[in-house]
Structure 1
Amino acid sequence: MTQKRFRVGIMSFAHPHSGAYIQSLLRRGDVDIWAADPDSLTTLSDEPRGAEMAVQLGVGYVETYTELVGLGLDAVVVCNENTRHREAVELAAAAGLNVLCEKPLATEIEDAKAMIEACRTTGAKLMTAFPIRFSPMFKELQSVVSRGEIGAIVGVTGANIGKVPTGPHSWFIDPALAGGGSLIDLAVHVVDLLDVLLDQDEPAKIYAVTNEILHADKPEVITETGALVNIKYANGVVATIDSSWSQADSAPNWGALTLQVVGTHGIAEIDTSVQHLGGYDQIGNQEFWLDFGPSAIDELVDEFLSSIVEDRQPQPSAEVGLRTLRIVKAAQESAASGETVLSSP
């Protein structure tokens, strides 16, 4: 039986994960890749974009998204700025293409719903890119919880911290393109893991606070840099999430996600940054950090392409993306008002 060869398009190099997706697709050996990055013409940062980036990554390039979706592709990976996801997904869906969309799925609930409906109408699959759930650390945590080793979950403390994204990819600090700041950038990953661990239980109420204390010396940062989100779920579980750009600019790695799950019979903890080789580079006069082990991005990409071959819904689905977005939007509302927000589906 002849193995299927995939034709995949990359919509934008705006997100730093775009390069990781391309590397993952190329490692498979069964994917032909093209890209389009028309928004690079208006970017204010000086990172390589557009045709220059395509050459560096070794993929084909066309000038517009319309040209890209007309190449007879099987799927696209949407990597443009958060507020531009809807337009890209709807264009791909209209062409009948399956879509892997970067997180957050959208920045407005109505946009996420429209994207889901557009794909449902044409039969295109829509997957939300939450790679952390594919990490070996989280998989083991999920197994520990499912086996009942710590009993019933009563509380979760999560943190997803990173460097403030100034310089290259600085659109993350522009609310008009990102839909917010550190809260929407980082909290969604932890919320996705909670969605898995709590079997999609709905939150009952959400309270959040944000501030701009971190990086107050950087005038280009015009959004929140620190956020703390408290969620009480319908089943009584209480979760707290730190989503802050609190990693030092001089740190050797970008950041890390940690999770502590408290059960009636025990506690389990993970740190997604533990699998690495660290040290000091005397020539470069700096610390170095090399990740190793199974690639969560590779597994996410494999899940997406396998779902096309097997004609099934990939996970995490667009519905997962919508559920996480509801929580983040409620947290943003709470932070703005100073009040607890009651969640509604």
Structure 2
Amino acid sequence: MKVAVLSFAHVHAATYLKLLRAMPGVEVLGSDPDTDAAAPGETRGRTVAEPLGVAYADTYEEAFAWGPDAVIVCAENARHRPLVELAAAHGVDVLCEKPLATTVADGEAMLAACRAAGVRLAVAYPVRFSPAYAAVRRAVTSGETGRVLAVTGANNGQLPTRARRWFADRALAGGGALMDHTVHIADLLDDLFAARAVEVYAQTNNVLYEDETDVETSGLVTVRYDNGAVATLDCSWSHPRSHHWWGGLELTVVGERATLEMDAFDQRVEGFSERRRTGFAVPFGIDLDERMLRVFLFGPGADGMDVADGEGGVRTVRIVEAAYASARAGAPVVL
């Protein structure tokens, strides 16, 4: 199987190249011609691919001429659409980094292009492959929790501009922390509920790092679903830069008969290095990115979990778009 990674703008691109390179039966090619958009000091292009032993194409046209069976789009959020439509035009299945798009209109156009071409559109939401989420999902779907009444979640992280400055560029990212971190939990709830979001209320600010960026760095989003459940999501870039761990994703699900708590990234050993005079963390267990890639390429495993599809990707973008509208208006937005 041939898989091409298109653009190395996203920090996950190098991870995907490395994981694909190690998969038996998979040939991988990288292409990152838009390096002019990179900020000074950021590593892109051949400099990323060659140390990993990955073949490289100077243009996207060359990448498609190679004849990939699937592509992974890792461009800046606002540049997802043209690459997804290019993949559709070549009849190639595509896994697109999250969020699917920065607007619902772009997301729907991408979905329509893939449907017309008869190709698969998936969205990179690796957290749904967490063992912790699998346990929550089993408890809810089996009825063990009873009807879900409320959900609280937090997807916090560090300000990501050290790795890629475009994450805080409104034109390229579509916003800031709300765009970056609302969608993971929104996707989990999209999978968990046989329900749809009907109302969104949000508040944002950039008190954190206000001297460095004009996009929102903190956000709180409340989503009401048509099954009666209400979810409150903290999507802030609130993890200190000095901390040894990037952040995390936690979820509490309150049901009529049980309350469930999960931490998607708690499989790690933490300590303090006297030599380095800093904390450290060593993760173990399942690599969520690796499992997501395998499911995208080869199909669901024994637990039946599949990658998020394009329709789900559009639904999560719709929540984000409504959250921005709510934050501007200071009032709930009905979907």
1:48 aligns with 2:43: yes
Q: Give a deviation string over 1:55-95, Cα, whole Å, max 9, x none.
A: 12221111111211111110110001000000111111111
1:280 aligns with 2:272: yes
Q: CA deviation at 1:174?
A: 0.3
Instruction: Report matched runs for 1:113-152 at 5 Å.
Output: 113-152=108-147
1:303 is matched with 295
1:217 is matched with 211
> Contact 1:45/1:167 (CA < 8 Å) preserved in 2?
no
Secondary structure (helix, strand or coil) at the match of 1:216 reads: coil
Cα separation, partners in 2 of 1:307 and 1:124, compared to 1, 3 Å? farther
1:36 aligns with 2:20: no
2:328 is matched with 336
Instruction: Report matched runs for 1:158-307 at 5 Å.
Output: 158-199=153-194, 201-218=195-212, 221-307=213-299
The one-letter code sitting in structure 1 at the alignment partner of 2:206 is E
Q: Give a deviation string over 1:183-215, Cα, whole Å, max 9, x none.
A: 01000000001111112x112211100001011
Q: In the aligned structure 2, how far is the partner of 1:45 from the partner of 1:158?
A: 35
Q: In the aligned structure 2, how far is the partner of 1:44 from the partner of 1:224?
A: 20
Q: In the aligned structure 1, how far is the partner of 2:243 from the partner of 2:7?
A: 28
> Contact 2:39/2:164 (CA < 8 Å) preserved in 1?
no
Secondary structure (helix, strand or coil) at the match of 1:328 reads: helix
1:17 aligns with 2:9: no
> Contact 1:100/1:128 (CA < 8 Å) preserved in 2?
yes
Q: In the aligned structure 2, how far is the partner of 1:160 from the partner of 1:180?
A: 16
> Contact 1:154/1:238 (CA < 8 Å) preserved in 2?
yes
Secondary structure (helix, strand or coil) at the match of 1:333 reads: helix
The one-letter code sitting in structure 1 at the alignment partner of 2:53 is G
The one-letter code sitting in structure 2 at the alignment partner of 1:23 is K
The one-letter code sitting in structure 2 at the alignment partner of 1:63 is D
- More displaced, 252-261 or 279-288? 279-288
Q: In the aligned structure 2, how far is the partner of 1:26 from the partner of 1:72?
A: 17
> Contact 1:252/1:289 (CA < 8 Å) preserved in 2?
yes
* TM-score (normalizing by structure 2): 0.96
> Contact 2:154/2:233 (CA < 8 Å) preserved in 1?
yes
> Contact 1:8/1:73 (CA < 8 Å) preserved in 2?
yes
Aligned to 2:318, which of 316, 322, 326? 326
> Contact 1:13/1:80 (CA < 8 Å) preserved in 2?
yes
Q: CA deviation at 1:47?
A: 2.0
> Contact 1:126/1:314 (CA < 8 Å) preserved in 2?
no
Q: Give a deviation string over 1:143-180, Cα, whole Å, max 9, x none.
A: 11122222110000011000001222111000100001
Secondary structure (helix, strand or coil) at the match of 2:160 reads: coil
Q: In the aligned structure 1, how far is the partner of 2:242 from the partner of 2:18?
A: 26
Give the root-mean-square deviation of aligned CA atoms: 1.4
1:76 is matched with 71
User: What is the percent sequence identity of the aligned residues?
Assistant: 44
Instruction: Report matched runs for 1:101-120 at 5 Å.
Output: 101-120=96-115
Q: Give a deviation string over 1:93-125, Cα, whole Å, max 9, x none.
A: 111111000000011111111111111122111
Q: In the aligned structure 1, how far is the partner of 2:189 from the partner of 2:14?
A: 28
1:3 is matched with none
Q: In the aligned structure 1, how far is the partner of 2:74 from the partner of 2:37?
A: 16
> Contact 2:78/2:171 (CA < 8 Å) preserved in 1?
yes
1:92 is matched with 87
The one-letter code sitting in structure 2 at the alignment partner of 1:243 is C
Cα separation, partners in 2 of 1:258 and 1:314, compared to 1, 3 Å? closer
> Contact 2:21/2:54 (CA < 8 Å) preserved in 1?
no
- More displaced, 19-28 or 105-114? 19-28
Q: Give a deviation string over 1:314-333, Cα, whole Å, max 9, x none.
A: 63101110011111100011
Q: CA deviation at 1:307?
A: 4.1
Q: In the aligned structure 1, how far is the partner of 2:51 from the partner of 2:217?
A: 32
> Contact 1:45/1:170 (CA < 8 Å) preserved in 2?
no
> Paired residues, what number?
331
The one-letter code sitting in structure 1 at the alignment partner of 2:165 is S
Q: In the aligned structure 1, how far is the partner of 2:40 from the partner of 2:199?
A: 39
Moved over 3 A (4+): none
